[in-house]
Amino acid sequence: MKNARLQFIITIILFGTIGTLSRYINMPSSIICMGRAIAGALIILLILAVRKQPLDKEAVRRNIGWLTLSSACLCVNWICQFEAYKHTTIATATLCYYMQPVFFILLAATVLKEHISGKKLVCVFIAFIGMIFVSGVLETGLHISELKGVLFGIAGGFFYAVVVLINKYMKNISTVETTVIQLSMVTLIMLPYSAATGAFGEVHVTTIGLVCLLVLGCLHTGIAYIAYFDSVNKLPAQTVGILSYIDPVEALLLSAFFLREPITLHTILGAVLILGATAVSEFNRK
């Protein structure tokens, strides 16, 4: 249990550095997503080969429709995430992106017909108030670029919630198999999309950018995803939920102290409201 907890914490710390890492990759978001997916899928396939763990082709075939749909949503999710990083601070983008638990509550109530308790409704409202504080609109209003960052962050969180929801419809397929197929499909979707939008012509390859992209794909996506799923399966759900809050808090701190991005009182207040509301909505008192 202790090793699994440490393993999970390490992967969450890695996830928390994605925004900072993206600052050094001077490439269009679709190219970053495609490069990340290619490297991640290859690393996972390599690890599975070393483990001599073949993919369950029958499970993939049974779930191919949901896998395709979730992969398309994952493409949108990733593009929105990296576009948010480009247009606003890492802290603001991450906190807006972290609205995804709220969106999942609303989607589950709408699609899965799950009951929303009064407590969860209050938490949803508080989280949205927190998002308003984080956006900065109450201080100086929003510039067009800043507004784009906020909207992309919110959209990224929404589509991540959609991916999680779709995954609930998949039957008898492991999370590792789901991930490697999704990453492979992301690559296939992003290749023609990048070509159609002219993204390849906007690529500025630098040594540090290429290294950061490889690290993002191999370490943060391939190796970290394997470690994440291995540890999640060994830990209680509440432990996973609590430790997951390392990610946005770390991103906020890196934004302030490493990238020297401004952190205002409104940002801190918004972070407390968003993270506090989502934490209370996820955990029940015994």
Q: Kindly list the distances between the CA atom of residue 154 and the CA atoms of 109, 179, 219, in Å, as whole numbers in the listed order.
A: 19, 23, 26
Ranked by mean pLDDT, the top range of 73-82, 98-107, 238-247 is 73-82
Q: Kindly list the distances between the CA atom of residue 161 and the CA atoms of 51, 65, 98, 156, 253, in Å, as whole numbers in the listed order.
A: 31, 18, 10, 9, 25
Q: What is the pLDDT of residue 140?
A: 56
Residue-wise pLDDT for 144-177, tens only, equals 667 888 899 999 999 988 988 888 888 888 888 8
Q: What's the structural domain count of the chain?
A: 1
Instruction: Tell me the whole-structure pTM to 2 decimals.
Output: 0.85
Q: What is the pLDDT of residue 285?
A: 47
More confident position, 27 or 139: 27
- Is the Cα dihedral 237, 243, 249, 255 positive or negative? negative
| Local confidence band at 286 (pLDDT 50, 70, 90 cut-offs) | very low
The answer to whether residues 241 and 282 touch, using CB atoms and an 8 Å cutoff, is yes
Residue-wise pLDDT for 81-138, tens only, equals 999 999 888 888 888 888 877 787 788 788 877 777 777 788 878 888 887 777 666 6
Residue 159 in tokens: 């589509």
Mean pLDDT value across the chain: 85
Q: What is the pLDDT of residue 136?
A: 65
Domain ranges, residue 63: 2-282
Q: How far apart are CA 246 and CA 109, in angstroms?
A: 27
Q: What is the pLDDT of residue 68?
A: 95
Residue 7, pLDDT > 80, answer yes
CA angle (219, 175, 220) in 5-degree steps: 10
